[in-house]
Amino acid sequence: MSDATPALVGRRPILVTGGAGFIGSNLADRLARDGHDVLVLDALARPGVDRNLAWLTERHPRRISAVIADVRSETELAAAARDASAVFHMAAQVAVTTSMVDPVSDFEINVKATLALLEALRARPEPAPLIFASTNKVYGDLADVGLALTDDAYLPVDPAVRANGIGESRPLDFHTPYGCSKGAADQYVLDYARSFDVPTSVLRMSCIYGQRQMGTEDQGWVAHFAIRAIEGEPISIYGDGAQVRDVLDVSDAVEAYVAALRDIRGISGRAFNLGGGPQNAISLRHLIRHLSDLTGREVEASYSDWRPGDQRYFVADARSIRTALGLNAPVPWRKGVANLVAWLQAERGLDAVAARPARVGALS
């Protein structure tokens, strides 16, 4: 079902699939602020994203237009892509757990819809560029990376990996239906640059967090932990909590996507890791300690078995993308998480709680 406003009739907007989602809405907002017309295509299936779309259209009534549709509707998808000047493909089934329950829908959303979008662009006389939101899950569980448990965190034994993280030269190794579907789409996007000269690039994201994130237990763990901490509820952890991820503030992720479009001809056909890097690598236990500091009360946690395909360690070696696109150093994780907590409190009509001094021991 289309619900496009007339604001962009006769103009060539940038299409953002999944543009009402967490990263998509932040990206659409940035593009509109930069003076671009933006067409958001979103099914509004995820709870809370309708508020993101309302926020976008209120802020940019003449820049933002919307089509309420599922990416599995090839007719709607092709129509949205027909006049787009560029495409950011953010729409996806995003949870490993959901893919284990319904791998067919996971495939249809993540692979089939991506291929349909690529075909729609290839059919144009001059294909529009496409930048695809991929994931670190394409590298599998990284079980062969030797780890040592240090200060409540799994860290690589290899000093080079510990210093820099996992690079793009790491062989792909898809685990779980989600890993397979995102990995397959990742490879299709790259191959359309090779085979059909469609200008494309892939950003394999680590853990992105920040304002407008509707975190749940299955996806968006930083916001989910923050929401539970604010509400005084315990947090469920799968594994021992020492698993490490590099976290990246959404403002830095958006900057990377905008820069990728700006230099799409120079980076076409390339995949980049996008994350906070070693300086923003934290374990789940580190985040819980920081949230206790920010909220002024201890955050309780319970522990269950590891989930399929979970990585004990993933930190992106993001040197390639920062060099290629001239990106600045990312927001320090403690500052970014504090900003997220303040935003979540404001969204709930709560007064911000003054943070106690940060505890020592967490990775910065």
Q: Confidence band (pLDDT; 50, 70, 90) for 106?
A: very high
d(CA 234, CA 42): 32
Residue 2 has pLDDT above 80, yes or no: no
Mean pLDDT of all residues belonging to the chain: 92
Catalytic residue from among 139, 154, 178, 313: 178
d(CA 188, CA 110): 11
Q: Confidence band (pLDDT; 50, 70, 90) for 90?
A: very high
Query: Can you give the pLDDT at residue 214?
Result: 80
**List of long-range contacts for 218-225, beta carbons under 8 Å, 24+ apart:** 218/95, 218/96, 218/97, 218/98, 219/94, 219/95, 220/22, 221/284, 222/247, 222/287, 222/337, 222/340, 223/22, 223/340, 223/344, 225/284, 225/287, 225/288, 225/291, 225/299
CB atoms < 10 A from the CB of 238, how many?
Answer: 16
d(CA 242, CA 295): 22
Q: Give the max Cα distance, the chain.
A: 59
Alpha helices by DSSP H, listed for the chain, are 22-33, 49-59, 74-82, 96-101, 103-107, 113-122, 159-164, 176-196, 221-231, 250-262, 264-267, 284-295, 319-325, 333-347
Residue 237 · residue 302 · CB < 8 Å? yes
> Can you tell me the mean pLDDT for 207-218?
88
Domains annotated for the chain, with CATH where assigned, are 92-347 (3.40.50.720)
pLDDT tens for each residue of 241-279: 999 999 999 999 999 999 999 999 999 999 999 999 999
d(CA 249, CA 328): 12
Query: Can you give the pLDDT at residue 293?
Result: 96
Query: Can you give the pLDDT at residue 98?
Result: 93
Residue 140 has pLDDT above 80, yes or no: yes
Residue 79 · residue 69 · CB < 8 Å? no
pLDDT tens for each residue of 113-123: 999 999 999 99
pLDDT tens for each residue of 34-54: 999 999 999 999 888 999 999
d(CA 83, CA 125): 11
Of 70, 78, 92, nearest to 24 by C-alpha is 92
Beta bridge partners of 202: 132, 271
Beta bridge partners of 66: 40
DSSP 272-286: EEES--GGGEEEHHH
d(CA 60, CA 283): 38
DSSP 295-351: HTSPPPEEEEPPPTT--SEE-B--HHHHHHHTPPPPPPHHHHHHHHHHHHHHHTTPP
Beta bridge partners of 296: none
d(CA 129, CA 267): 11
Query: Can you give the pLDDT at residue 364?
Result: 29
Query: Can you give the pLDDT at residue 357?
Result: 36
The token pair that represents 244 in the structure block: 């490490």
Residue 11: CB partners within 8 Å, gap ≥ 6? Answer: 37, 83
Residue 81 · residue 53 · CB < 8 Å? no
Residue 9 has pLDDT above 70, yes or no: no
d(CA 216, CA 210): 14
> Can you tell me the mean pLDDT for 18-34?
97
303 is catalytic: no
d(CA 195, CA 168): 21
pLDDT tens for each residue of 309-320: 789 999 999 999
Residue 350 has pLDDT above 90, yes or no: no
Residue 349 has pLDDT above 90, yes or no: no
The token pair that represents 72 in the structure block: 């599995």
Residue 303 has pLDDT above 90, yes or no: yes
Residue 138 · residue 179 · CB < 8 Å? yes
pLDDT tens for each residue of 144-170: 999 999 999 999 999 999 999 999 999
